[in-house]
Structure 1
Amino acid sequence: MAQTEQKVFKVGVVGYGLSAKIFQIPFITATPSFKLHSILQRNPKPESSAPNDYPNLQHFQSMEPFLADPALDVVVLSTTPDSHFPLAQQALNAGKHVFIEKPLVPTSAEASELDRLAKEKGLLICVYQNRRWDSDFRTVQKLIADGTLGRVYEVETHFQRYRPVQRANMLSMSQGGSALYDLGSHLVDQVYVLFGMPNSVSAKLYCQREGRVLSPKDQTVEPDGANLQLAYDSGLVVGVRIGSMSVETRQPRFWVRGTKGSYHKDGLDPQEDQLKAGMKISDGQFGRDSEEWHGRLVTLGEDGKVSDKAFPNVEPVTYTKIYELFGEALRGNGPVPVPVSEARDVLRILEGARESSLTLRTVNLS
């Protein structure tokens, strides 16, 4: 069960790739409720060696001795999505709480099983949907919550880039990979946080690099692009757009339209690029957009005049927040910030999108 005392939880990380190095370990070490305790790296190499980088930690090359460590409290899975289900099962059966990279698992059925097992064992699982703490997304949240835009009736959310060569190790959709699961899990999760479960999804999944569409005539497409339309009872329509061949100097991110105004934002949240460039999370500029990337807010005044102005993001809280909130949940001070039930719903939407493209029909989710 979640513990009420102000315990510091010892954390072990499984995997030592880019995600572990820049998205997990810096935030674990900055969170007061966590202490980095161990790392499991199956094959350390001279150019990438957890034992060399962290000589004072416990180091392992297989799951059994790693999980047998009685001091270990929390397992962070920073591995490929196709490995998440069996590894999470092992960790839960060993009595460890689990923090899992997105997408949680390849299927909603597996998510339900992990949820059942965690509840049976009295343990907590948190899913690393870090982009809930993107500052542009939090800005959209605030504008909607404040009523600045009025009743929102249409949203576009984008993840566009120009990458004409496919990554060699990209997983298939069945493994929890492709643009649909890799990037779609971020975008659809944000839509879910804003508006809840849609009634239906209609989708086209593309391989933009090859000019192919997932359809009854071509069922082997692994998408590098996607166009989803999520529909709600209120009349709200949300377009989720993913692209790999977008040639732009300013890639679109958000376009939110309501009865009283609209908000437009280009460019991705800077945290990922800042981390890759070596910026420390303690840096005062971490998570902050430069002025040239401020969004635009257009509003209709009571006098009927339209105002158009630059609109900077809200004050960043950064990806540290998900770790802080999970630590507090483990201490019994609040809910898990991204529970399995929400990640399962997101997977249901992604599965519906895949079905829609394959069958050429709208898929009912309600």
Structure 2
Amino acid sequence: MSKTYNIGVIGYGMAAKVFHIPLIAVTPSMKLHTIVQRTPTASNSASKDHPGVKIVPSVDELFADPEINIVIVTSTPETHFSFTKAALEAGKHVLVEKPFVPTAAEAQRLIEVSQQTKKLLCVYQNRRWDTDFLTFRKLQREGTLGRLVEFETHFDRHRLDRPETWKGTLGMDQAGGVVYDLGTHLIDQVVVAFGMPQEVTGVLANQRGDEGEPDSMTALLRYTQGKEKGLLATVKAAVISPETAQLRYWVRGTKGSFKKYHLDVQEDQLKAGMKPGDEGYGIESNDMSGRLVVMEGDTPKESIWTNVEPESYAALYQQFAKAIDQGASEAVPVKASEARDVLRIIEAVRESARSKKTIVL
């Protein structure tokens, strides 16, 4: 029987309230023990929302508490490196929100600290557990589409106003903006499915037309060797996209194609107060299903292709708890080394956009 781990959460914004505390609540081996909230307000008070939980104003109190086993870092990304390093050195296992840290070099340093302290480090790349991504992965494993030649992954929206959160106010050097917010998710899925690309071409633009950081990106990730040789992965995130149904995936291969619209429903369900295990959690309506085309001789045949059964974002927490039980760094569901490699690609996207050249990794 696994032990119960006391959890300390740094930050009390949307990430903590929507993506982490509800998942802690449905993970049997985890107990919410402490929340760090520096400036509570009448409308945003951790003590009011969680009367049985210890609320502290500083991370130092959290790190010094011997009862805390795991620290969840949900603060803004420019704080991730210092908070994660301090937590590891205080003898805590750590789960960090994405984007992991601003640079691949910082990621590598935290990997080294994790190894030195013998504490496990995980990154919250929850969209590996998007049900439509798992559906594509099943098609990929079974070879339904044949040899894949193009994989498009989109996170497009129509939002004319720049957000006032870190996503719209922090510069890219602090891991702010679209490349680190949405690009992290999209690129991580590509690496999970296909491994590291060999060439990266990036275009960053400001579709809103203001003077802020780039708010849209297109990245071309080319595979020129290995079993994925010939594959082109296109990663796109846009803020000017007036559509009734936003494209999410378009995958093409020698035997067929798969096209999916709409975003995975789990985020909206969590925002509405649902939790994994609730009836209907993670299940989208039939009209959101993807379309599968397979070749029958020379004729393409289309069918509606519903998602696989949801695993839910809670799987990440459950697998991290199991890795800690076993003391097995290789069992961590999203390894810091994988997040580091995603940052390497992001840095190549930025350099390509700056130099207007393709970057060879």
User: TM above 0.5, one fold?
Assistant: yes
Cα separation, 2, equivalents of 1:78 and 1:240: 25
1:145-164 superposed matches below 5 A: 145-164=141-160
Gaps of 5+ in 1: 212-219
Q: Percent identity?
A: 48
Corresponding position: 1:56 with 2:55: no
**Whole-Å separation in 2 of the counterparts to 1:147 and 1:54:** 48
Which residue of the other structure, out of 332, 336, 341, is the alignment partner of 2:337? 341
CA contact (8 A) 2:146 2:254 kept: yes
2:111 to 115, 131, 134: 115
User: Structure 1, residues 273-310: CA drift from partner, whole Å, max 9, x if none?
Assistant: 11112223332211111111100000012x44321000
Name 2:248's counterpart in structure 1. Answer: 253
Alpha-carbon distance, 1:221 to partner = 6.1
Cα separation, 2, equivalents of 1:309 and 1:243: 29
Tell me the SS of whatever aligns to 1:86.
Answer: helix
**2:240 is the alignment partner of 1:241:** no
Are the aligned partners of 1:155 and 1:254 in contact in 2 as well (CA < 8 Å)?
Answer: yes
Take 2:59 and 2:140, find their aligned partners in 1: how far apart are those partners? 45
Q: Distance in 1 between matches of 2:149 and 2:286?
A: 28
1:295-310 equivalences under 5 Å are 295-301=290-296, 303-310=297-304
Letter in 2 for 1:305: T
Map of 1:278-293 to 2, 5 A cutoff? 278-293=273-288
Structure 2 residue runs without a partner (length 5+): none
Q: Partner of 2:271 in structure 1?
A: 276
CA distance in structure 2 between the partners assigned to 1:280 and 1:57 by the alignment: 19
Q: Give the aligned partner of residue 228 of structure 1.
A: 219
**How many pairs align?**
352
The match for 2:357 is 361
- Classify the secondary structure of the residue corresponding to 2:102: coil
Q: Secondary structure at the match of 1:284?
A: coil
Tell me which of 4, 25, 32 is aligned to 1:29.
Answer: 25
Aligned residue among 257, 260, 265 for 1:262: 257
Q: Structure 1 residue 268: deviation in Å?
A: 0.4
Which one-letter code corresponds to 1:231 in the other structure?
R
Tell me which stretches of 4 or more aligned residues in structure 1 moved more than 3 Å: none
CA distance in 1, matches of 2:243, 2:317: 34
Output the CA distance in 2 between the equivalents of 1:338 and 1:275: 21
Match among 314, 320, 323 for residue 329 of structure 1 = 323
User: Within 5 Å, which residues of 2 pair with 1:170-185?
Assistant: 170=168, 171-185=170-184
- CA distances 1:189-241 after superposition (whole Å, capped 9, x unpaired): 00000000000100100111118xxxxxxxx8621100100000201001101
Contact 1:206/1:221, CA 8 A, preserved across alignment = no
**Aligned counterparts of 1:126 and 1:117: Cα–Cα separation in 2:** 13
Taking the aligned partners of 1:174 and 1:288, their CA distance within structure 2 comes to 37
- Aligned mates of 2:161, 2:198 — CA distance in 1: 35
CA contact (8 A) 1:264 1:297 kept: yes
Contact kept in structure 2, 1:12 and 1:40, CA below 8 Å: yes
Note if contact 1:252-1:265 (Cα within 8 Å) is conserved in structure 2.
yes
* Cross-structure match for 1:70: 66
Asked if residue 93 in structure 1 is aligned to residue 105 in structure 2, the reply is no
Give RMSD over aligned pairs: 1.2
Q: Please report the TM-score for the alignment, with normalisation by the length of structure 1.
A: 0.94
Residue 23 of structure 2 contacts residue 275 of structure 2 at CA under 8 Å; is this kept in 1? no
- Tell me the equivalent position of 1:214: none
